[in-house]
Chain A
Amino acid sequence: MDKAIVIENLSKMYKNNRGIQEINLEINKGEIFGFLGPNGAGKTTTMKVMVGLMKADKGDVKINGFSIINNYEKAMNEVGCIIENVNPFPYLTAYENMQLCGRFKKEVNRIRIDECLEITRIIKYKNEKIKNYSLGMKQRLGIAMAILSNPKIIILDEPFNGLDVEGMVEMRELIICLSQKHKTTFFISSHLIHDIELTCDKVGILYNGKLVGVDSTHNILKNYSSLENYYLSEVDLNADY
């Protein structure tokens, strides 16, 4: 099967000796991968290195076969992402922020921008400045920006943050729909284990900067009553060391 994302021996350590160590991971095209781990495990660090916001101490990330270190532009050409919080330009409107995003792609036009804002249900606020937006609205805008150019890979760090229940359900449906219709690959980190269980095909658990388990949701649910039980058992097992 074609690999959308390949992470090889990825390490990044901070001065406080926290970070990520020797992460190896492969995600197939069209998969929805859930990245779980406690606070400070290194999920955001991994994602930041994946999209080039941080430089790895060691290792590489290949996206669609292109190295993020040696071929950044080609690697990121088909990637949409939200990393940590969504930080659009506060002095611009939602529509203007989308325009900034769309300028890199010829196929993005006014209709496509409106379509994405419609999908994330913020079309009626499109001419309002971001400084007046709530956290949830910013999150919806971030999702609209991530899907704007119909990317083949979408990397989402805590995409359900700030969303109301309705928003979370819509978000889940959108992810599954894009994966099934367009074979879009998703790499999602979240603390909301229930949402990961309902959305993802494959789950990886990061603990103390190390990837301690990767398995398909189907296999996990065959052996454990819930993803939460699997997660706790993996964390307990590795906490002893």
Chain B
Amino acid sequence: MQIIKSVFINEIFKISKKKKITAALIFSMLSVIIAAIVEYSLNNFAGIRVTGNSEFSILILTILIYSLLPLFTTFICVDMFAGEFADHTIKFTLTGPASRAKVFLGKILAIATFIICNLIVVMIFSIVASLFLNSNLPNFFKILVSYFMAFLPIFIFALAAVLISNITRGPTSAFMLSIFVFLVFIGLNLVFPQIRSFLFTSFFDWFRLILGNYINYSKILRIFLILLGYGIMFCAAGYYLFEKKDI
């Protein structure tokens, strides 16, 4: 446990020192502010009411979960795997007294922490912005549960990016391929809606299932299990390649 903790702290420390991570968090905040300004302008100058109080945070989440959140997550995954293999800094981590399984686990936990931080930043800013936009208090519970649920599909996508990072030889190809896979899955979802239940990207907005008056728990459970299945497959395949890789 102590070794996993050391690997995890090291990975978090490295993430915190990367400028692109700071930039990612700033962009996330900026996107919320820009969306709030647009909403305010439409509401007050064009007379168009886009969302209510709780819905602003949910709207932001729906937009970011298909755009910036997967993009920033890909950055971090590619940097932590393909990037470190390409510049050979991975040697430093792998020659320490931690087995590859623990190194892999420590890195995955650090990625999960980054996703959680990114979601928290977006949630806090979107709630604050929604308070400025409307005088009524939003439904904090629904917002919290929605952001909590949003973590899972982003994390599954992160595991897919980790798998791709362990297949490709360089960070650029890993990044391009991850984005390509994401776009292809989104495209398939739109073109062939009959196969959408097999594509994990079609569940990115699964938090919408808890927003209505009637909550379909069996559907939530089914989607959760599908996402879990994808997660196990991506994680196992990513770890297998990471373990076998010669440096």
Contact = CB atoms under 8 A, between A and B. Distances in A.
Interface of A: 48, 51-55, 72-73, 76-77, 79, 81, 83-85, 87-92, 96-97, 99-101, 103-104, 145
A87 B13 contact: no
A97 B9 CA distance: 13
A91 B98 CA distance: 23
Given A51-B95, A87-B87, 12 more contacts: A52-B95, A53-B95, A55-B246, A73-B99, A76-B95, A79-B95, A83-B91, A87-B89, A89-B89, A91-B17, A92-B14, A100-B92
Contact of B91 (A53, A77, A92, A101): A53
B3 interface: yes
B247 interface: yes
Contacts of A52: 94-95, 100
B101 to A, nearest CB: 9
What secondary structure prevails in chain A residues at the interface with B?
loop
B246 A91 contact: no
7 contacts: A53-B246, A77-B97, A83-B91, A84-B88, A90-B89, A100-B10, A145-B92
B97 A73 contact: yes
Contacts of A101: 92, 96
A84 B94 CA distance: 14
A79 B96 CA distance: 8
Contacts of A85: 88
Nearest to A102: B6
Contact of A54 (B10, B88, B99, B247): B247
Contacts of B246: 48, 53-55
Contacts of B18: 91
A51 B9 CA distance: 23
A83 B95 contact: yes
B92 A103 contact: no
Nearest to A149: B97
Contact of B97 (A89, A99, A104, A145): A104
Contacts of A77: 97
Nearest to B246: A54
Given A54-B246, A92-B17, A87 B88 contact: yes
A87 B91 contact: yes
Given A54-B246, A89-B14, A91-B17, A73 B91 contact: no
B88 to A, nearest CB: 4
A81 B88 contact: no
A88 B244 contact: no
Contacts of B102: 73
Given A54-B247, A55-B244, A89-B89, A73 B17 contact: no
B196 to A, nearest CB: 41
Given A55-B244, A76-B95, A85-B88, A104 B6 contact: yes
Query: Which of B18, B95, B247 is the most central at the interface, judged by chain A CB atoms within 10 Å of its CB?
Result: B95
Nearest to A81: B95
Contacts of A73: 3, 97-99, 102
A106 B89 CA distance: 23
Contacts of A97: 92
Interface string B203-217: 000000000000000
A144 B152 CA distance: 41
B115 to A, nearest CB: 21
Contacts of B96: 76, 101, 104
A100 B13 contact: yes
Nearest to A151: B97
